[in-house]
Amino acid sequence: MPNHWSSSRLDLHIDLDAAGGRRCGLESSLRAAIRQGRLPAGTLLPSTRGLARDLGLSRGTVSAAYDQLVEEGHLTTRPGSGTTVAEMPQHAPAPALPAPAPSAPRHDLRPGLPDVSAFPSRAWLASTGRVLTSARPEIFGAGDPQGRIELRSALADYLGRTRGVITTPDRIVITSGYYQGLGLLSGVLAAGGTSSAALEDPGHNLFRGVVQRAGFTTVALPVDAHGARVEALTQTTGAVFLTPSHQYPTGVPLHPSRRQALRAWARATGGLIVEDDYDGEYRYDRRPVGALQGIAADRTVYCGTVSKTLGPALRLAWMVLPHCLVRPVVQAKQEADLYTETLGQLVLADLITTHAYDRHIRAARLRYRRRRELLLDRVAAIPGLAAQGVPAGLHTLLTLPSEGPTEDQLLAGCAHHGVALRGLTELHHDGAGRPQGLLIGFAAPSERAYPAAVDALLAALSSDEPGGAADSPGTAVSSTR
């Protein structure tokens, strides 16, 4: 039961009923009062006899509590001077809490985000059970910087079967997401003397920044209706970073004649092709276009990820490398974070080898195709907007007419309606005077939420007042790879 210790000097709340007994309660109450400043340094405490009388305790209990706090440095005692509160070190003030993150948009139609509510939890759990049941204890030890051989073997078979990639397990390196893989590769190439790189214009500005931070001089490689204009590559370009199966953000595949021209350029100049196959599994009108790596395996780095098929939280991606790059990239991976976590690699390997991964992708492909068709049907009712690109991927690009609301106005209007999108202009190397457009992702909302998201989008795009909340939250974009 709580008590108050009162004297001519002090009035202090004491809880003697704390767990551990009355002595522990006295110790805890005094300790808390000292730490919180309610008993300042130098305060003279009552004698053990006087405090015992005030609190109805034995003198021995109070003496033991005082002795414990003296041992801890909270109290000091001197013969003839009584017991006082010790000088305690001053603690620095707690740092200010960071500002709260912006709230998530009500309707998330940003490009490149999958429907994580459709994550195959049951299949993942079954694979996890199989992995743990058959696992040897060594899987819980240090991992392999190159990645588990089980996953590299499964990927070699899967990529050859579904994407036409030519590889063996020893040429695959597992990374913690595409973002890390791109950074590792760029660093290795820069250290090896490559200084100039061409990147698609428009293209993903976040990944362009990764290449630039590695020390590259970057050159804008124009994109048209047939993909990257590879004829613009020169003898001095050391590497070219491309999204040939589904160009980001325009949505067009690289034309077959340009694929051949790109292979010829790489072989004639010794240049390297870096292929980002970020959503190659999703083609809705025909079989997916095969990977470019399949026709230039010795001059291409092929990059893939589960961020679009399963979810970005898994942080699992891979690079298929020419033999000469495997050792330096593995070394860079080891220096970066030693290795990618093991259990997720083994579970993914099981998903692939049992074909649960294939089944999940087939179901997602059907679901996303329906969503894209609904979006395009609804947008077609708005004059001036034109959808670009082939039926593929997780987003579509709407180009804007020269007359009417600007990209910024439409983005602000969408934000005002709680819809998050992305604009085209920022994806150009230099956005001044470039075509304007909206990138609309149709995958992120759940099945139940998607129709309402499309309704909100159409309301924003059809509004007579497209402006509104230019600084509303929800338009910022971060990589999920």
Residue 100: its pLDDT value, please?
Answer: 63
Any idea what DSSP says for residue 174? E
Q: Render 321-355 in DSSP notation, one character per residue.
A: --HHHHHHHHHHHHHHHS---HHHHHHHHHHHHTT
- CB-count burial class (<10 Å; 0-12, 13-18, 19+) for 377: exposed
Instruction: Name the CATH topology of 116-358.
Output: Aspartate Aminotransferase; domain 2 (3.40.640)
What is the rounded distance in angstroms from the CA atom of residue 328 to the CA atom of residue 145?
A: 11
Cβ atoms 111, 394 nearer than 8 A: yes
Structure confidence by residue, pLDDT tens digits, 245-299: 999 999 999 999 999 999 999 999 999 999 999 999 999 999 888 999 999 999 9
Q: What are phi and psi of 222, to 5 degrees?
A: -60, 150
Averaged confidence pLDDT in the chain:
91
The CA-atom distances, in angstroms, between 75 and each of 24, 34, 68, 71, 109 are: 16, 9, 9, 8, 61
Tokens of 416: 């005002």
Q: How far is the C-alpha of 139 from the C-alpha of 96, rounded, in Å?
A: 41
Element (H or E) spanning 411, and its range? helix 407-416
What crossing angle do the helices spanning 22-35 and 59-72 adopt, rounded to 10°? 40
What pLDDT sits at residue 35?
86
Beta strand spans in 406-471 (E): 419-420, 422-423, 437-441
Q: Are strands 75-78 and 82-85 parallel, antiparallel or unpaired?
A: antiparallel
- Whether this model's pTM surpasses 0.85: no
Residues in the chain: 481
Domain boundaries, the chain: 2-85, 116-358, 364-462
- CA–CA distance, 290 with 400 (Å, rounded to integer): 31
Which amino acid, one-letter code, is at 107? Answer: H
Burial 251-284 (b: 16+ CB within 10 A, else e): bbbbbeebbebbbebbeeeebbbbbbbbbbbbbb
Q: What is the pLDDT of residue 37?
A: 84
Which pLDDT score, from 0 to 100, does residue 105 have?
85
DSSP 151: H
Same topology for domains 2-85 and 116-358, yes or no? no
| pLDDT tens, position by position, 141-188 | 999 999 999 999 999 999 999 999 999 999 999 999 999 999 999 999
402 DSSP assignment = S
Res 6: pLDDT: 53
pLDDT of residue 477: 42
State the CATH architecture for 2-85. Orthogonal Bundle (1.10)
pLDDT of residue 92: 54
Q: 18 and 25 in contact (C-beta within 8 Å)?
A: yes
Q: Is 364-462 CATH 3.90.1150.10? A: yes
- Calpha distance 196→216 (Å, rounded): 5
Query: What is the distance between the alpha carbons of residues 354 and 175, in angstroms, rounded to a whole number?
Result: 22
Q: Which residues contact 352 (CB under 8 A, 6 or more apart)?
A: 151, 154, 155, 157, 158, 358
- Mean pLDDT per 10-residue segment, the chain (481 residues): 54 69 84 87 88 87 89 86 82 62 84 97 98 93 97 98 98 98 98 97 96 96 97 96 98 97 97 97 93 97 98 98 98 98 98 98 98 96 92 97 92 96 95 90 97 97 62 44 75
Where does residue 421 rank: exposed (0-12), middle (13-18), buried (19+ CB within 10 A)? buried
Pairs from 17-20 (Cβ < 8 Å, separation ≥ 24): none
